[in-house]
Amino acid sequence: AQTVTQSQPEMSVQEAETVTLSCTYDTSESDYYLFWYKQPPSRQMILVIRQEAYKQQNATENRFSVNFQKAAKSFSLKISDSQLGDAAMYFCAYRSGNNDMRFGAGTRLTVKP
Amino acid sequence: DTEVTQTPKHLVMGMTNKKSLKCEQHMGHRAMYWYKQKAKKPPELMFVYSYEKLSINESVPSRFSPECPNSSLLNLHLHALQPEDSALYLCASSRGQGVNTEAFFGQGTRLTVV
């Protein structure tokens, strides 16, 4: 069974600074995708960034980037130039070919002005 | 239109009531999902529909009954629920079964069972 682990229940960052959220996963699959979703107080899950397991190049979306270490089964999210609107729960997610998506426990990010 | 619309946003029901949660998307997605999310926990997968057929049922109690009337609609029928079923119920959709397809989520229905 695939598992996704986020070891940081809460993180805090000063506005304009950089923060890294950790995620590890366990799988025996070779073809899979990894995602980071953000859930603000509005409750809607919003996709932040995704990474294909076959691609060695780390994905980047504006201020968001990942550090994907396939051998270590690690998928961390770096948020640069943090903004107040980045405050939310962040979930790391794993998806393989059986059409479901599994989430980690989440990290609550606080951004201090 | 990149929205998944869920109704109602809030629902309070008694343990003897029957109610339904509705989810709608017009993105042409062929996979739709129900997740249950308790406070401060991640979403837990309940059901997956692929091409309007139930493909995954994560051992959900029969008091939850999903229905996919067509490719745009997904319902969750509720009957004889327990207080511990109170949670946020999230609907999601994706383009298909491909591993690389991202899921789009609705804003959820906050369900309280009294």
For residue range A53-93, what is the model confidence (pLDDT) as tens digits?
888 889 999 999 999 999 999 999 999 999 999 999 999 99
Question: Which pLDDT value is given to residue B58?
Answer: 81
Contact between residue A21 and residue A64 where contact means Cβ atoms under 8 Å apart: no
Question: Which pLDDT value is given to residue A100?
Answer: 74
* pLDDT tens-digit readout, B85-105: 999 999 999 987 666 678 899
Contact B99 A42 (CB under 8 A): no
Question: Which pLDDT value is given to residue A56?
Answer: 84
Question: Which pLDDT value is given to residue A99?
Answer: 59
Q: Which residues of B touch A (CB under 8 A)?
A: 31, 33, 40-43, 45, 48, 50, 55-56, 88, 90, 92, 97, 99-100, 102-108, 110
Question: Which pLDDT value is given to residue A11?
Answer: 98
Length of chain A: 113
Question: Which pLDDT value is given to residue B98?
Answer: 67
* pLDDT tens-digit readout, B21-49: 999 999 999 999 999 999 989 999 999 99
* pLDDT tens-digit readout, A14-59: 999 999 999 999 988 888 899 999 999 888 899 999 998 888 889 9
Q: Percentage of chain A surpassing pLDDT 90?
A: 76
- In this predicted structure, the answer to whether residue B3 has a pLDDT above a threshold of 80 is yes
Give CA–CA dist A49/B113, Å, rounded: 35
Contact between residue A11 and residue A87 where contact means Cβ atoms under 8 Å apart: no
Contact B108 A96 (CB under 8 A): no
**Which pair of structure tokens corresponds to residue A55?**
């691609």
Residues of A in contact with B88 (CB under 8 A): 43
**DSSP label of B22:** E
From the candidates A5, A29, A100, A109, which should be mutated to test the interface with B, based on the most B CB atoms within 10 A?
A100
Positive or negative, the Cα torsion across B39, B45, B51, B54? negative
